[in-house]
Amino acid sequence: MKFVDEFRDPAAARALVRKITDLATEDEYKFMEVCGGHTHTIYRHGLEHVLPDNIELVHGPGCPVCVIPMGRIDDAIWLAEQDGVIFTTFGDMMRVPGSSGSLLDAKARGADCRFVYSPLDALKIALENPDKHVVFFAVGFETTAPSTAVTLVRAKQLGVTNFTVFANHVTIVPPIKAILESPDLRLSGFLGPGHVSTVVGTRPYRFVNDVYGKPLVVAGFEPLDILQSVHMLLKQLAEGRCEIENQYSRVVRPDGNPQALALLAETMELRPHFEWRGLGFISQSALKVHRNYADWDAEERFSMPGIRVADPKACQCGEVLKGVIKPWECKVFGTACTPETPIGTCMVSPEGACAAYYNFGRLHRDTAVMVGQRTAL
C-alpha cells in the first residue's frame, strides 16, 4: 500500500512543517477546524505542538453530540419515559446529561432505552414490536441526516405506524456564519469538515470567502491531510488569495452527494430557528421532519414539554464550542468533569474537544516519533 506510506511519511511531514514555518510570517494565525473528527486527529497526534507557535488551531462547533442543548435531552428523557415507548439513539447520546440525569439514568429507572448502530436498526425494532411505539432520537450534521432520511422513506413505504423520529439534525453553514459574526474571535481561516462535505459538497461554503473574506480548505482526517490543509490556507493568505479549496478531493466532490441531498429535501425541512449549546438560537440551522412525513414525526405525535434549560453554571462548553477558550481552561476540566462523569457535552463524545484533549492531549508520542522534535527541524 504505497499510498498509505506516502500519507505517513515522516520526511513528508517534516518537509510540510518546514514549508508551513516559512510561510507563516505574520505574528498570529488562528485557524478553526469546524469538525470534531479533525479535533480528534489534532489531539491524537499532537499536531498543535508540531506547528510553529504563531499558528493556533481553534476547535469549532462540529461535534453534533456537543451542540445539543439540555432542554432537548430533557425532552428525549420525557419521551423515553412515556408508556409503551422504546426509545432508541446512538451510543454517545445515552450519556449526555440533561437537567436531571442522562438517558442511561432513565434506563436505570426502568425506561426502555436502547442504543442502535443505525436508524434502520430502530425501524427494525419497530417492525418486531408492533405493540410498542419506537422513537429514534436523531442527531448529527449533514453527514448523518441522509441516513434518517432513507429511514423515513422506508417507514412510509412499509406503512409502519409505530415508529417516529425525534429530529435534532443540524446544518453546518449557520454556525460557521454565527462564528464569523461573533466579536469574540478573529479567525484567519477554516479547515472545512471532510465528511459533511461528502454530502453537501464545497459550494455551500462560498459565503466564507465571498462575504467574510476568509479562506476555507476542506480537509481529510490523516495527520498529513491536516498539515497540508494548514499549508494551503497559509499559501492563500501569503498570495493574497481567498478561496474555497478542497484538500480531501479523493473523497469529496464539488457537488457532494446529490442522492443524499434529494432525500434530505424530500423528508426534512428547515426549522425557523434552533438552540445550539453555547451559540444560542441560530435561525434556519436545523432540520425537522417534513410535513409530508408528519405521521413519523415524534414532535407531531407527542406533546413534549419543550422547556428551555440553561447550561450548568460551572460548565463552559459554550466557550469551548465557540473556540473562545481551550478545554483545559474550563474550571471543571479533568476535575469535576471527566469522560466517566461528564458535566458538559464536550466531554461525552470522543469527537468533543474536551474528551479528545483529556484522552490524548497530553500524549504526543505518535507525532514526536513521526516528525521528530520541532527544534531538530
Partner 1 sequence: MCLGIPGQVVETVDAENYLAKVDVSGVRRTISVRLLADTGLKDGDWVLVHVGFAMAKIDEDEAAMTLSQLQKMGTEYTDELAQFRSTSL
Question: Which residues of this chain interact with partner 1, rule CB under 8 A?
Answer: 1-4, 7, 35-37, 40, 44, 63-65, 90-93, 116-121, 124, 139-141, 143-144, 146-147, 150, 154, 195, 198-199, 221-222, 250-252, 257-260, 263, 349-351, 366
Smallest distance from partner 1 to CB 44, Å: 7
Cβ neighbours, 10 Å, residue 258: 11
Please say which residue, 140 or 174, places its beta carbon nearer to partner 1: 140
Closest CA to 172 of 192, 148, 152, 149: 192
Nearer to partner 1, 29 or 166 (CB): 166
Kindly state the smallest distance separating residue 18's Cβ from partner 1, in Å: 23
CB-nearer residue toward partner 1: 120 or 180? 120
Q: In the chain, count of helices (H) and strands (E)?
A: 17, 13
At 271, is the secondary structure helix, strand, or coil? Answer: coil
The one-letter amino acid code at 315 reads C
We find the least distance from the C-beta atom of residue 63 to partner 1, in angstroms, to be: 8
Sign of the four-CA dihedral 330, 276, 349, 132: positive
Whose Cβ is closer to partner 1: residue 339's or residue 372's?
Answer: 339
Whether 102 and 94 have beta carbons less than 8 Å apart is answered as: yes
Q: How far is the CB of 160 from partner 1 (least distance, A)?
A: 14
- Provide, rounded to whole angstroms, the least separation between the CB of residue 303 and partner 1: 28
Distance CA 178, CA 281 (A): 10
Q: Within 13 Å and on the Cβ side, how many CA atoms surround 119?
A: 24
The residue among 211 and 251 lying less far from partner 1, judged by its C-beta, is 251
Our CB check for partner 1 shows the closer of 215 and 342 to be 342
- Residues 354 and 327: beta-carbon distance below 8 Å: yes
Q: How far is the CB of 31 from partner 1 (least distance, A)?
A: 20
Amino acid at 350: P
Minimum CB distance to partner 1, residue 66 (Å): 11
CB atoms inside a 10 Å sphere around CB 61? 29
Q: Which amino acid is at 324?
A: V
Q: In terms of Cα–Cα distance, which of 350, 351, 360, 366 is closest to 328?
A: 360
CA angle 321, 327, 331 (to 5 degrees): 110
Q: Which is nearer to partner 1, 23 or 264 (CB)?
A: 264
Q: What gap in Å lies between CA 356 and CA 319, rounded to an integer?
A: 16
CB closer to partner 1 out of 30 and 114 = 114
Distance CA 150, CA 348 (A): 27
CA 10 to CA 281: how far, in whole Å?
44
Half-sphere exposure of 174 (CA within 13 A, CB side): 22
| Residue whose CB is less far from partner 1, 4 or 376 | 4
Q: How far is the CB of 53 from partner 1 (least distance, A)?
A: 27
Smallest separation (angstroms) from partner 1 to the CB of 256: 9
